[in-house]
Amino acid sequence: MSREEYNRVFELLQKHHQWFGEVIPLIASENIPSPAVREALISDFGNRYAEGWPGERVYAGCIYIDEVENLCIRMMKKLFRAEFADVRPISGVVANLVIYTAFTEPGDTMMALSIPCGGHITMGKKKLGGTAGAVHGLNVEYLALDYEEMNIDVDRTKERLKKLVNKGKTPKLVMFGASVFPFPHPLKELADSFHEVGATVGYDAAHVAGLIAGGCFQDPLREGADVMSLSTHKTFFGPQHGSVVSWERYAEKIKRATFPGMVSNHHLHAVAGVAIACAELLEFGKEYATQVIRNAKALAQALYEQGFNVLAEHKGFTESHVILIDITKQGDGGTIEKELERANIIINRNLLPWDIKEGRHFMHPGGIRLGTSELTRLGMKEAEMVEIAEFIKRVVMDRESPEKVKEDVVEFRKNYQKVHYCFESVMEAYKYIKIR
């Protein structure tokens, strides 16, 4: 009986690999790592323990592991021009928890964007089960979002900050950054106001780290951020993992919050994969990030011309990898997500900032979110974005049978099977690796 299930797991894994070689992957938080990163992920590093800092491990057997981690730290610092990097947090969530632990106490106030306004669940209030409130006991207050500009409203945020100070609820931490992050946040405009009241300025770069590394977004550490968290698998095209970068003066408290605070072992195969991705970004990051943003703008423009309500048209839709579409004229985000999936077009439904007030729910929100990182990694450029917009239109606007559109999507995808912006790319992007 167990042999049957064993075989079924492999069968499903292989089906998934084959399917992803035939889809248009538009999830803004995903990417495809290079074959080199995948090679690191199946190494023996994944079976070892190395708690602590390189050179101060709790286990023997870390000679090569330490050297790889030191290389990773060195390259991570170079990518973000940071004085300090901790590459041990095992995800973006854990990286944010490291920041909360290092810079706040339970009961303190933190400001961040709400989830409908693009904030991440790690920034959520306790009553919503968000990590900041439910796990670290922070009192979360919201930064103000300008719905037209799709960005943080500087004046209204300053007013909210003032009110909190007057009420004796001065924030200890502010977290910039979001999961819907089309435009650079006004760090330069707001960092001083937060520093003046004694708050630490944090920046969650999970979504945009690859663009920052490529020098194509904002530069948080130069614009006033004290500390920045990232995940290493979104626009930063490594394996699923996290990191925290900062200034030397905060090194000790970040290190201690990470270990023994947040991780025991820290997934050493992933650290090796992150090191490979860092090397790739140092070499190809500028070219890659430039094309990701060009593709996002081209896709947004093409969809807009097809009649979609792509937000922030007056600002060129986006300056990052992500675009947000108000889909309420065509249906709801949940239903459209499923229809597009039947056509092999993988996107995610997304709350619009005003959805909750208008009575919509995250299962059937008013928006869909699209990202262009993975398509770019597959070598696609502006011309392909126009073709993709046409596929989406056929399903959503023309109500063509998704199964019919799927046939054309599969054909289209045949030409994009290799990973670009990496040193070696012999193996196809989604090839299933069998080593049994």
Residues at the site binding ligand DSN, with contacts judged by CB under 6 A: 29, 92, 120, 179
How far is the first Cα of the chain from the last one, in angstroms, to the nearest whole number?
20
User: Pick from 382, 409, 384: which is nearest to 394 by CA?
Assistant: 409
User: Pick from 336, 409, 314, 417: which is nearest to 374 by CA?
Assistant: 417
Structure tokens at 372: 């262009």
| C-beta of 120 vs 321, nearer to ligand DSN | 120
| C-beta of 301 vs 320, nearer to ligand DSN | 320
Nearest approach, Cβ of 351 to ligand DSN (angstroms)? 12
d(CA 282, CA 417): 23
Nearest approach, Cβ of 88 to ligand DSN (angstroms)? 18
Between the alpha carbon of residue 39 and those of residues 79, 103, 241, 412, 436, the distances in Å are: 22, 36, 16, 28, 15
Structure tokens at 15: 């089906």
Between the alpha carbon of residue 372 and those of residues 108, 161, 396, the distances in Å are: 37, 35, 19
| C-beta of 33 vs 92, nearer to ligand DSN | 92
Nearest approach, Cβ of 367 to ligand DSN (angstroms)? 13
| C-beta of 94 vs 327, nearer to ligand DSN | 94
Nearest approach, Cβ of 120 to ligand DSN (angstroms)? 6
| C-beta of 324 vs 327, nearer to ligand DSN | 324
* Residue whose Cβ sits closest to ligand DSN: 29
d(CA 361, CA 375): 29
Dihedral sign (CA 387, 392, 398, 401): positive
DSSP 388: H
Nearest approach, Cβ of 136 to ligand DSN (angstroms)? 17
Give the three-class secondary structure for 252.
Answer: helix
Nearest approach, Cβ of 113 to ligand DSN (angstroms)? 12
- Alpha-carbon Rg for the chain in angstroms: 22
Nearest approach, Cβ of 130 to ligand DSN (angstroms)? 12
| C-beta of 120 vs 267, nearer to ligand DSN | 120
| C-beta of 65 vs 112, nearer to ligand DSN | 112
